[in-house]
Chains A and B, each alone.
Chain A
Amino acid sequence: MEPLTLSKAEILAVLPAGALFITGLIQLMSDLGDPNKTSRQEKTHLAMIGATGALVALASLFVQGTAASTGELYAGAMTDDLFGRLGAGVIIVTSLFCTLMAGGYLSSSGNNRAEFHALVSFSAGAMVLLCQSTNLVSMFVAIETLSLAVYVLAGFFRQQKAASEGAFKYFVMGAFSSGFLLLGMAIIYGLSGASLSFSDIAAAGASDDALFAVGALLVLIGFAFKVGVVPFHSWVPDVYQGAPTLAVGWMAVAVKASSFFALCRFLYHTGGGAYMDQILIALSIVTMILGNLAALNQQSLKRMLAYSGIAHSGYLMIPLIVALSGDDILIGASLPFYLCAYAGTTLAAFGVLTALSKATDKDQLGDLNGLAKSRPLLALGFTVALISLAGIPLTAGFIGKLMIFSDAIGAGFVQLAVIGILTSLVSVYYYLRPIVAMWFRDPRSSFDLIPAPWGVQFTVGACGIATIVFGIFPDWLIELSRISVETILG
């Protein structure tokens, strides 16, 4: 065996995740002495320093060259290409925004413990690794680390019965799906000819085997649970309703983004076996239809956003189908763009809900009545987010949907595009209801914001502006997505 050496590229590649993990550990230790007395600012500042450090580490990766994949690192366990960096960037920026919002939200509900920041940091680190992972072991360990942290985040308000029930349901479902994920990986490993990395699996020609299709299907089921694709979505609304609003925002954005980045890499490398495209088509159609229909009648905003997130998982599977069907994987370039747009808009939407959750979570539709009269800017941010989620022009969400549907038509999947467009039209109804409530109804109660609301206001503002800017000038981000997908296969 060759001696163990670390190259400069290998050390640099783990720095972003490493910075996040170390921040989480420091957070835990800082809270050891007096968990209640340390001031809110200290914890928030520490978490922000950590996330900024991770961003700097991510930027330092570009010193080695902007686009080219640096090949396999750590004996094929991870890579450092533009695709992974894009995913890492989305996740680290999201964690920075969540940290900005966390201090005031947690202290207003009497739960200001550093564990929240620590768990966000740990899960963010695992998500960054997940985006960079290129073999079965590193993918499994990363996805489990992030899941374990997120289970605890879902039950963070342990005084509330709904939170602990939701967290337990999430845990059982998640662990059950991990079993299937692992079984699928074991089958793929058994067929791969003594290698765990995606590229060797593809090169071994195992993907023509019928058993390989079973293994890839089991891996897909594992991911489908994590992102909430329809037959495996039953936990999503309950967990979203019970979990703290801010943690829901973090789960909805970061877990979904990192899982899709990893699934995309896995499928593009291995091809997914014989029946993968038909299975994906069926799942995508069912998810788009059921997600949007179930969202129609929800009075709880968190449940509405949960079903809307499920529906968006359905749209996000279309680029995977298109890419798997053709010889040219470049047409899958709409996936990173759509994920970036989805991340910004969802973060803005949950930011507004967080800002209003003083002492108790407000998530009924009626709670928003007349928001525009007393808090016009927050109402404007929420409106922009909902319009973008609905896919109305001049927003990033519109460009994302346009790219996905035009790719689908170009590759001959007209039925997917038609169903996508029809369900998007349906979704306008439930996205418009909160907008009507905010701008045209009389206020029911006063809108007290959580303490230190500047973090939330900054987040909502930044995400709202980014949504509009990328809706009007999308070219730069589209080009970045295209190059990043190009680098997956090196």
Chain B
Amino acid sequence: MFSLPALLYLSALLFSIGIYGVLARRNILVVLMSLELMLNAVNIALVGFGRVHALSTTSGEHGGQIFTLMVLAVAAAEAAIGLSLLLLIWRRWKTIDLRELCRLSG
């Protein structure tokens, strides 16, 4: 069963949760997870659009799916960089609380 609007609603919901997490949470680890959530929310929309376009054309167009694979690779690289920066911050400050970080650095 395939329904594009349902997928888009799910995608929008997850994206909004991601935005909320980045803006409102103070734990760096949760912020990193929220950033990943934003990218993966868009992936759902891309897969949905790709499916619709693949059904509507006969040429075998799968741009959305290919785009999603690329985004997955980018998201993995981004997580690696984010986690290594998190480790760096833990070693310097002994905290992963964003607000404490701002207070310490002044």
Contacts and interface: CB of A to CB of B under 8 A. Distances in A.
A178 interface: yes
Interface residues of B, number: 41
A241 to B, nearest CB: 11
Contacts of B22: 172, 176
A182 B71 contact: yes
Contacts of B105: 161-162, 165
Given A179-B18, A183-B15, A155 B85 contact: yes
Interface in A179-205: 179, 182-183, 185-187, 189-190, 193-196
Interface in B8-51: 15, 18-19, 22, 28, 31, 35, 38-39, 42, 45-46, 49-50
B42 A179 contact: yes
A152 interface: yes
Given A171-B81, A175-B35, A190-B49, A183 B74 contact: no
Interface stretch (A80-88, A140-148, A261-269, A410-418): A140-148
A161 B92 contact: yes
A489 B82 CA distance: 38
Interface residues of A, number: 35
Contact of B101 (A141, A165, A193): A165
A195 B93 CA distance: 48
Contact of A179 (B38, B59, B60): B38
Would you call the interface of chain A mostly helix, strand, loop, or mixed?
helix
Contacts of B66: 137
Nearest to A195: B63
Interface string A123-167: 000000000000011001100110010011001001001101101
A190 B4 CA distance: 11
A198 to B, nearest CB: 13
A194 B57 contact: yes
A168 interface: yes
Contacts of B77: 144-145, 148
Contacts of B85: 151, 155, 164, 167-168, 171
Given A179-B18, A195-B63, A151 B74 contact: no
A1 interface: yes
Contact of B49 (A172, A178, A189): A189
Given A144-B78, A190-B45, A195-B63, 5 more contacts: A151-B85, A171-B82, A172-B31, A190-B49, A194-B61
Interface of B: 15, 18-19, 22, 28, 31, 35, 38-39, 42, 45-46, 49-50, 52-54, 56-57, 59-61, 63-64, 66-67, 70-71, 74, 77-78, 81-82, 85-86, 88-89, 92-93, 101, 105
22 contacts: A141-B74, A151-B85, A152-B81, A161-B93, A164-B92, A165-B101, A165-B105, A168-B86, A171-B85, A176-B22, A179-B18, A179-B19, A182-B71, A183-B38, A186-B45, A186-B46, A189-B63, A189-B67, A190-B52, A194-B54, A194-B57, A194-B59
10 A-B pairs with the lowest CB-CB distances in the bound complex, closest first:
A179-B38, A194-B53, A190-B49, A194-B61, A196-B63, A144-B74, A175-B35, A182-B42, A186-B45, A164-B88
